[in-house]
């Protein structure tokens, strides 16, 4: 197998343990052939795992500044870190929605979201990203939950869509009116990605995004037209979440993703080692899926997630990289 870029999402900086343990574990990742670590630093409850004056720092975030230590340790091994934000997922325990409950999405299908279409919400998350990037200077920033969570009917959305002549209570799927509403949401989400492109250009860092594996259905369900983001050059890499137990499904999705993006930006397939209803892969099954998606043209791999990887997975990955 030719050399390929390899990343890992880390759901929680706590998975790396103490300061000394973190340095050891980063060295283990480097030894196994990883090039990129993507730690989550803004989780849905709304607090953040980094020091900032913009948002609320999680009360459990320790003095030794795990994000800073992680970035320095990774850099010492030639690895990059992209700081991962759950962009519009907000449960209101801390931060924006605690202070401004009126910014919550009014969304029947899934609670726990801010209204990503609102300028106030976009401005807040953008300033939070800026504060992290300026303070820590990571190689990149990473978008997740870069979508609406469904169709929001908050006052703002109602008014804006109403100005287009569309009543959000009356518009039914399969009509031109409904599609106008979808397109408006797609545009609002895309607007934030474009603003992130401007920010990362200004600061000289990269931008990657975790995106739904089921494109183009996610245009309707989530207002997430991630192929558009790639075509416009607004992201440097797309990481479709290709989470499945089935190697056939992983293969089929990867074929689609590579064809859909058509070389506009690199596509790193997101392979799920272990998570809830998605998958529980042995080391052999993990590298089997990795091999399959690379064979059909994926430019790289990113594994979900760090906390589920064990020594036997590292050994299997090293063997794959050595093929
Ligand atoms: Zn809304």
The CA-atom distances, in angstroms, between 149 and each of 111, 113, 117, 275, 288 are 8, 7, 11, 20, 32
Q: What is the pLDDT of residue 319?
A: 96
CB atoms within 10 A of CB 263: 11
CA of 264 to the centre of ligand 1 (A): 31
DSSP per residue over 47-79, as a string? Answer: -BSS--SSSPBPTT--TT-HHHHHHHHHHHTT-
Tens of pLDDT, residue by residue over 8-41, are 999 999 999 999 999 999 999 999 999 999 999 9
Classify burial at 276, counting beta carbons within 10 Å of its beta carbon; exposed 0-12, middle 13-18, buried 19 or more: exposed
17 φψ region: left (φ > 0), alpha (ψ -120 to 50), beta (else): left
> Is 131's pLDDT higher than 80?
yes
CA of 246 to the centre of ligand 1 (A): 36
CA of 149 to the centre of ligand 1 (A): 11
236 contacts 203 by C-beta, under 8 angstroms: no
CA of 111 to the centre of ligand 1 (A): 12
Tens of pLDDT, residue by residue over 58-109, are 999 999 999 999 999 999 999 999 999 999 999 988 889 999 999 999 987 6
CA of 152 to the centre of ligand 1 (A): 5
CA of 105 to the centre of ligand 1 (A): 5
Q: What is the residue-averaged pLDDT of the chain?
A: 96
The span from the CA of 17 to the CA of 221, in Å, is 37
CA of 117 to the centre of ligand 1 (A): 6
> Is 135's pLDDT higher than 90?
yes
122 contacts 64 by C-beta, under 8 angstroms: no
CA of 39 to the centre of ligand 1 (A): 28
Could you tell me the two tokens for 25? 């574990």
CA of 210 to the centre of ligand 1 (A): 22
CA of 17 to the centre of ligand 1 (A): 39
CA of 106 to the centre of ligand 1 (A): 6
Q: What is the pLDDT of residue 323?
A: 86
CA of 87 to the centre of ligand 1 (A): 15
Q: What is the pLDDT of residue 141?
A: 98
Tens of pLDDT, residue by residue over 247-267, are 999 999 999 999 999 999 999
CA of 176 to the centre of ligand 1 (A): 20
Could you tell me the two tokens for 280? 């529980």
Domains of the chain plus CATH, in order, are 6-321 (3.20.20.80)
Could you tell me the two tokens for 204? 């000289």
* Percentage of the chain modeled with pLDDT above 70: 99
Q: Which of the four pLDDT bands, split at 50, 70 and 90, describes residue 110?
A: confident
The CA-atom distances, in angstroms, between 288 and each of 207, 213, 250, 273 are 28, 18, 10, 11
CA of 219 to the centre of ligand 1 (A): 16
CA of 40 to the centre of ligand 1 (A): 25
CA of 160 to the centre of ligand 1 (A): 9
The span from the CA of 9 to the CA of 32, in Å, is 15
């Amino acid at each position: 197998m030719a050399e390929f870029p390899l990343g890992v999402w880390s759901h929680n900086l706590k998975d790396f343990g103490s300061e000394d343990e973190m340095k050891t574990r980063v060295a283990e990742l480097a030894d196994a052939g990883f090039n990129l670590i993507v730690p989550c630093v803004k989780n849905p409850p709304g607090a953040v795992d980094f020091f900032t004056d913009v948002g609320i720092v999680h009360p459990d975030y320790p003095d030794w500044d795990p994000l800073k230590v992680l970035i320095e340790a990774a850099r010492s091994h030639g690895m990059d870190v992209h700081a991962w934000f759950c962009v519009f997922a907000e449960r209101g325990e801390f931060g924006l929605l605690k202070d401004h409950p009126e910014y919550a999405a009014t969304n029947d299908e899934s609670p726990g979201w801010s209204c990503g279409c609102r300028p106030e919400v976009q401005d807040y998350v953008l300033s939070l990203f800026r504060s992290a990037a300026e303070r820590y200077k990571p190689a990149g920033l990473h978008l997740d939950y870069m979508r609406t969570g469904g169709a929001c009917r908050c006052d703002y959305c109602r008014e804006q869509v109403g100005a287009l002549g569309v009543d959000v209570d009356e518009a039914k799927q399969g009509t031109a009116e409904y599609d106008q509403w979808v397109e408006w949401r797609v545009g609002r989400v895309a607007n934030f990605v474009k603003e992130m492109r401007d920010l990362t250009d200004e600061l000289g860092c990269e931008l990657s995004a975790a995106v739904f594996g089921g494109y183009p259905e996610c245009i309707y369900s989530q207002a997430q037209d991630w192929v558009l983001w790639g075509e416009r050059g607004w992201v440097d890499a797309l990481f479709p979440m290709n989470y499945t137990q089935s190697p056939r499904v992983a293969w089929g999705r990867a074929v689609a993703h590579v064809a859909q993006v058509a070389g506009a930006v690199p596509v790193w397939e997101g392979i799920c080692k272990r998570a809830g209803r998605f998958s529980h892969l042995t080391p052999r099954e993990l590298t089997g899926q990795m091999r399959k998606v690379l064979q059909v043209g994926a430019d790289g791999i990113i594994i979900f997630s760090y906390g589920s990887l064990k020594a036997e997975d590292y050994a299997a990955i090293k063997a794959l990289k050595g093929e």
